[in-house]
C-alpha cells in the first residue's frame, strides 16, 4: 500500500454492508448475518460487491470482530435491534481461568477459507485487507456481554480487579495474533486492528489496557520484511488524544477519525507512519457539492503524499442508510482530485 501511485487509494470501513441492495439480497439468501459471515462463498460474494460497483482500491474481508470470542465458546447471537449478545460473558475469576486461545484453523476455519476464496476471486487486481478487533475492544463485548453505553462492567473490573482484565487481554492478544497470522498465511495483504472502544478509556488506562495489547499483537505477527511486509493499520475510534503514542506501537499506518484534521495528525505522528481517513461518514448524507468539497478538504489537509502515505477512508464505518450514489461521488472525487498530490 506504500508503492507510488497516481492517486490516493480509497476504501471504506464496512464497505460491504446494508447500504447496498446486493448485500441485503445475499444476506437474505444466507438467512442471517451470522450465517453470511460463516459461509466462505457468500462472504466472498459480499466482499467483492462494493469493489465491483465503485472501483475501490482495496477489498476488506467480510466478517465480524466477534468471531474470536465466539470461537472461545462464549455463545454469540444477534438480537434484532439490540446488537450482539454473549450467552456466557466473562465476569469472574472462574470464567477468566477457563478462557483459551482458539485455533484459527479449526474454530475459525470458515474465516480462513473466506480469505482464500476472496484472494482467488480478486486474482491480484487489488489487495485484500484482513482484520480483527483489538484485545480491549473484544474484552468490552466479552465482559459486558454485548454493546454498552457506559462500559460499567468492564470498567468496574478494571478499577477493582485489574489482574482479571489483564489476563483476559493476554488471552485476547494471543488469540488475535494467531487469528491474524492465519489470515496472513491464507493471503491477506494488509491487516487492520479495529479498536472501536479504546476511546472510552481514561488517558493512562488507554495506554495500559488497549495500546499495550495492540503492540503485543503486532509483536507476535509474522509480517514479513521489506517489499513483502504486510502492513498493519491500527484504528482507535476516538483515538485523537493519543495519535503520537499510537504511532510508536509498531503499526505501519494509523486510522484517524474525523475529530483530527490530517495536517495536525501528520505533525503528531512519527515519520514513515501512514495515515488513513478521515471523512465524517455523515458527509455522505449531504449534497453532491458538499461531498466533493469535504473530500477535497481531507486531501488538502494531508497535502503532498510523503513517504508515509495516505489512504483515503471514512473516519468510521459507513452508515447503513447512506445513499449509494454518494459513495460513487466520493470515489470519483478522491481519484480525480488527489492526482495533484502525487
Per DSSP, 319 falls in state P
Binding segment for its own copies (CB under 8 A), chosen from 36-44, 127-135, 182-190, 286-294, is: 286-294
CB closer to its own copies, 4 vs 81: 81
Tell me how many residues contact its own copies (CB under 8 A): 36
Asked whether position 132 contacts its own copies by CB under 8 A, the answer is no
The minimum distance between CB 109 and its own copies, in angstroms, equals 34
Encoded one letter per residue, x for contact with its own copies by CB under 8 A and - for no contact, window 55-94 reads ----------------------------------------
Strand, helix or coil for residue 279 = strand
**What's the CA gap between 70 and 77, in Å, rounded?**
9
- Identify the H or E element spanning 29: helix 21-30
**What's the CA gap between 308 and 58, in Å, rounded?**
18
Asked whether position 328 contacts its own copies by CB under 8 A, the answer is no
Per DSSP, 107 falls in state T
Q: What are phi and psi of 253, to 5 degrees?
A: -145, 150
Per DSSP, 18 falls in state T
The minimum distance between CB 81 and its own copies, in angstroms, equals 12
Query: Which one of residues 283, 311, 331, 334 is an interface residue with its own copies (CB under 8 A)?
Result: 283
Closest CA to 248 of 231, 273, 274: 273
- Identify the H or E element spanning 11: none
Asked whether position 152 contacts its own copies by CB under 8 A, the answer is yes
Q: Which residues contact 185 (CB under 8 A, 6 or more apart)?
A: 112, 222
Interacting positions 217-276 with its own copies (CB under 8 A): 238, 240-241, 258-261, 264
Asked whether position 170 contacts its own copies by CB under 8 A, the answer is no
Residue 274 near residue 308, CB atoms below 8 Å: yes
The minimum distance between CB 316 and its own copies, in angstroms, equals 9
Catalytic residues: 14, 18, 27, 64, 141
Cell of 72: 472461545
**What does the binding site for its own copies look like in residue numbers (CB under 8 A)?**
150-152, 155-156, 158-160, 199, 201-206, 238, 240-241, 258-261, 264, 280, 282-283, 285-287, 290-291, 294, 297, 315, 319, 321
Amino acid at each position: 500500500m506504500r508503492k507510488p501511485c497516481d492517486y490516493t487509494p480509497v476504501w471504506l470501513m464496512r464497505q460491504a454492508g446494508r447500504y447496498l441492495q446486493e448485500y441485503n439480497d445475499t444476506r437474505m439468501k444466507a438467512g442471517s448475518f451470522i450465517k453470511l459471515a460463516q459461509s466462505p462463498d457468500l462472504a466472498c460474494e459480499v466482499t467483492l460487491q462494493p469493489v465491483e460497483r465503485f472501483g475501490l482500491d482495496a477489498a476488506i474481508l467480510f466478517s465480524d470482530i466477534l468471531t474470536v470470542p465466539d470461537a472461545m465458546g462464549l455463545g454469540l447471537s444477534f438480537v434484532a435491534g439490540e446488537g450482539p449478545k454473549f450467552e456466557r460473558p466473562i465476569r469472574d475469576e472462574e470464567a477468566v481461568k477457563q478462557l483459551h486461545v482458539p485455533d484459527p484453523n479449526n474454530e475459525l476455519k470458515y474465516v480462513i477459507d473466506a480469505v482464500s476464496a476472496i484472494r482467488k476471486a480478486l486474482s491480484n487486481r487489488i489487495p485484500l485487507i484482513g482484520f480483527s478487533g483489538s484485545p480491549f475492544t473484544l474484552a468490552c463485548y466479552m465482559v459486558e456481554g454485548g454493546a454498552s453505553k457506559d462500559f460499567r462492567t468492564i470498567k468496574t473490573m478494571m478499577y477493582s480487579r485489574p489482574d482479571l482484565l489483564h489476563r483476559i487481554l493476554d488471552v485476547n492478544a494471543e488469540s488475535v495474533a494467531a487469528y491474524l497470522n492465519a489470515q496472513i498465511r491464507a493471503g491477506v495483504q494488509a491487516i487492520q486492528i479495529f479498536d472501536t472502544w479504546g476511546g472510552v478509556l481514561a488517558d493512562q488506562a488507554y495506554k495500559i489496557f488497549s495500546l499495550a495489547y495492540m503492540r503485543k499483537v503486532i509483536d507476535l505477527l509474522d509480517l514479513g520484511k521489506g517489499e513483502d511486509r504486510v502492513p498493519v493499520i491500527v484504528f482507535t475510534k476516538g483515538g485523537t488524544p493519543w495519535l503520537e503514542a499510537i504511532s510508536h506501537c509498531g503499526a505501519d499506518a494509523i486510522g484517524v477519525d474525523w475529530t483530527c484534521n490530517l495536517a495536525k495528525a501528520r505533525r503528531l505522528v512519527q515519520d514513515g507512519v501512514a495515515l488513513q481517513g478521515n471523512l465524517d461518514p455523515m458527509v455522505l448524507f449531504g449534497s453532491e457539492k458538499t461531498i466533493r468539497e469535504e473530500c477535497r478538504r481531507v486531501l488538502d489537509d494531508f497535502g503532498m503524499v510523503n513517504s508515509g502515505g495516505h489512504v483515503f477512508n471514512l473516519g468510521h464505518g459507513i452508515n447503513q442508510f447512506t445513499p449509494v450514489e454518494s459513495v460513487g461521488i466520493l470515489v470519483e472525487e478522491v481519484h480525480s482530485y488527489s492526482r495533484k498530490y502525487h
